[in-house]
Amino acid sequence: MISVRYLMVWTLLSDTKYQVKTQCSGTSAEIIVGYSVSSITSPGYPNGYDGGLKCSWVARTEVQGDVLLIMSTENTLSCSSDTVNVHDGKNSSTNKLIENHCSSNGNAAQSGFGTTSAESAYIEFVSDSTSEPTEKGFIIKIISGNDFSESSCSLPVNLTASTNPQYITSPNFPEEYATYINCQWIIQNTLGRVKLNLIFMDIEEDEFCSYDYLKVTDEGYSLKLCKEKSWSEIIYVSNGTSITVDFHSDDQQTKRGFILSYQQTNLPCSYCSANITRPFYIFMFILALCLS
């Protein structure tokens, strides 16, 4: 058993959602995407949608040099009639990253990942004149991305947390990381605790995180994380004034990796504790709720 003292975990399920119906009136809705997860849903989701819809959204990041990572995480559109497409650019004339995504059997379907070549993506949704009860609609998740790994995979990188969030990622994020990688970040805060916010994770999944993993070490106590296609934010608060983050990949599968933020916090959390007996990703429930 790995005993983790005073390590607070808080799963955040409320990402930014865009469901307004103005995007179905002939004008695309604009969505500004940052380093938190944004969600686009069909109108009425998850209670179905109207027939005869033609809706569009333009998602873009305002961070120079960033691109967008996109995935349809749940889709119950009928393949015989309705469709959603994601384009690499500001309009429908650009190449498709996710094409005619739908559900062939009525069960919720997931798409693969799509990465834009620049700052924008165009999403279009078309429904025919009727809608079946099984057609609840779709959810598309989006996040802005860049490679913040720096030289951490050559030598350990020392970082200082501040009151503003700063970011670290797996190498090559939001594209796939390489094999045989070992990266380390040592994050310090002389004024209090360190708060980590794991925003997105796509790391080769295994019950014991034996292959690829993200490891968080706090005062000698460690935990490993490895989960694929996880868009739910999780917050970690250190027991002391420093925390170490390691990322490892083996010689087999590669995935999209992760992005997390770190910053100072004076959160008093002496009553927050957990005993970890399995990989930490199964604790995607609220183990302790401490407001920062």
Residues 239-276 have pLDDT tens digits of 889 999 999 999 999 999 999 999 998 866 543 333 33
| Single pTM value for the model | 0.85
Name the one residue in this structure whose structure tokens are 């079946």: 132
Residue type (1 letter), 103: S
Percent of the chain with pLDDT over 90: 65
Please report, for the chain, the start and end positions of each structural domain, with discontinuous segments joined by +.
29-146, 148-268
Yes or no: say if 216 and 168 are a contact pair by the CB < 8 Å rule: no
**Distance between CA atoms of residues 239 and 129, nearest Å:** 57
What is the widest separation between alpha-carbon atoms in the chain?
Answer: 62
User: What pLDDT score was predicted for residue 231?
Assistant: 97
Domain 148-268 has CATH 2.60.120.290: yes
- State the average pLDDT over residues 228-233: 95
Is residue 105 pLDDT above 60, yes or no?
Answer: yes
CATH topology match: 29-146 vs 148-268: yes
Q: Bridge partners of 247?
A: 183, 214
For domain 29-146, the CATH architecture is Sandwich (2.60)
- State the average pLDDT over residues 164-182: 97
Q: Bridge partners of 101?
A: 84
Structure tokens that stand for 130 in this block: 């009727």
User: What pLDDT score was predicted for residue 191?
Assistant: 86
**Distance between CA atoms of residues 91 and 71, nearest Å:** 18
- State the average pLDDT over residues 163-187: 97
| 201-214 pLDDT tens trace | 999 999 999 999 99
Q: Which residues contact 27 (CB under 8 A, 6 or more apart)?
A: none
- State the average pLDDT over residues 141-148: 98
State yes or no: cis peptide before 174, omega within 30 of 0: yes
Query: Between the CA of residue 282 and those of 136, 230, 276, what are the distances in Å?
Result: 27, 12, 10
User: What pLDDT score was predicted for residue 239?
Assistant: 87
Is residue 160 pLDDT above 90, yes or no?
Answer: yes
C-alpha radius of gyration, the chain, whole number: 20
The number of beta carbons lying within 10 Å of the beta carbon of residue 267 is 16
**Distance between CA atoms of residues 65 and 177, nearest Å:** 19
Structure tokens that stand for 93 in this block: 């004339």
Q: Which residues contact 40 (CB under 8 A, 6 or more apart)?
A: 17, 18, 19, 31, 57, 59, 123, 139, 140, 142
Structure tokens that stand for 114 in this block: 């799509």
CA–chain centroid gap for 178, Å, is 19
| 109-124 pLDDT tens trace | 999 999 999 999 999 9
